Amino acid sequence: MKKRHIGHILLWVGLGLLLSDLIYRHGIELLKVPTSSMEPTIHTGEFVLVNKFIPGPRYLVNDPDRYNRLFQTHPLQYNDIIVFNFPEADTIVPHKPGESYYLLRRQHPGLDTLLTSEHWGELQALEVNQRPRMIKRIAALPGDTLQIIRGQLHLNGHLQISPKQANDTLQPLAPGIPDPYVFPSSNNHRWNADNLGPFYLPRKGDAIALTTDTYPLYSRIIRVFEGVNLEQRSSFFYLNNRPIKRYTFKMNYYWVHGDNRPRSFDSRYWGPVPENHIVGVVKHR
């Protein structure tokens, strides 16, 4: 075989591999679902196709000031099933990769000692695109005010009935019983998984007033997801040591639930999903 023909073959093989890699990274990906949180819609171990063209291939995901999408075919909608990087995985415990560091911190006040005594390893920081991925259903969109009342979701004051959640059989917790493992992990709000809110879901460009009531709800969003040096000192707030009264959001935020809600670790426990964490949409029967 002539060298020229071999060169052509190698060129086409190289182009094919490059195209396959681009499709995998920015187009379509086959994903195995590891948990039961989306049952009965999607079962543990089932494979699903993730369409990254919706909401669009993302880039600069680790920089909230420059993050964007190459293009957007159409916006995310209510009830879309999405794959996203787990927002609470900015920090992980190496020998417990499947568990939330922040949940472990709440469960074990002496976590720093356990890291050594139980040989869990030193804490590691992960960029957005390195974080483990989850699959859930969009329950609320940016700009919505959501509230869960006795286990039922209300958006903007209206009760939402989802057939995917019609089989929830567990009895709801009573209102006013605070759960430290429920967003925003603040006893002052006295929220639990069945009685939560009202909570306004930030939309890019929205400004909120910073108060002692709103700060626990939005502090992690502002400091961690938006990368802003925000501090509370008594009842006053400082951005890079300059006093501020309002904050304007850089990104959109989404609220997600698992269809198997009694057994789903979702936004009720760790809060909103920033738009730069969203990988793509799953089209399912």
Q: Is residue 75 part of a domain?
A: no
Q: What is the dihedral of CA 169, 133, 123, 187, to 10 degrees?
A: -40
Q: Is residue 105 part of a domain?
A: yes
pLDDT digits (tens, 9 = 90+) for 182-225: 999 987 889 999 999 999 999 999 999 999 999 999 999 999 99
**pLDDT of res. 25:** 55
Q: Is residue 8 part of a domain?
A: no
Q: Is residue 124 part of a domain?
A: yes
Q: How far is CA 173 from CA 112, 153, 194, 272, in A?
A: 32, 14, 6, 22
Q: Is residue 95 part of a domain?
A: yes
The answer, yes or no, to whether residue 57 has pLDDT greater than 90, is yes
**How high does pLDDT run on average in the chain?**
87
Domain extent, residue 100, equals: 87-131
- Structure tokens of 214? 């709103």
Q: Is residue 93 part of a domain?
A: yes
**pLDDT of res. 12:** 47
Read off the DSSP letter of residue 121.
Answer: -
Contacts of 183 (CB under 8 A, 6+ apart): 191, 196, 267, 268, 269, 270, 271
pLDDT band for 113, please (50, 70, 90 cuts). confident
Q: Is residue 32 part of a domain?
A: no
**pLDDT of res. 74:** 83
How confident is the model over 247-251, as a mean pLDDT?
A: 97
pTM of the full structure: 0.88
pLDDT greater at residue 67 or residue 176: 67
Residue 108's φ and ψ, nearest 5 degrees, are -125, 90
- Structure tokens of 160? 């939402």
pLDDT above 90 coverage of the chain, percent: 65
Read off the DSSP letter of residue 28.
Answer: E
Q: Is residue 98 part of a domain?
A: yes
The answer, yes or no, to whether residue 169 has pLDDT greater than 60, is no
**pLDDT of res. 199:** 98
pLDDT band for 17, please (50, 70, 90 cuts). very low
Domains in the chain, number: 1
**pLDDT of res. 112:** 86
**pLDDT of res. 162:** 64
**pLDDT of res. 3:** 59
pLDDT band for 7, please (50, 70, 90 cuts). low
Read off the DSSP letter of residue 221.
Answer: I
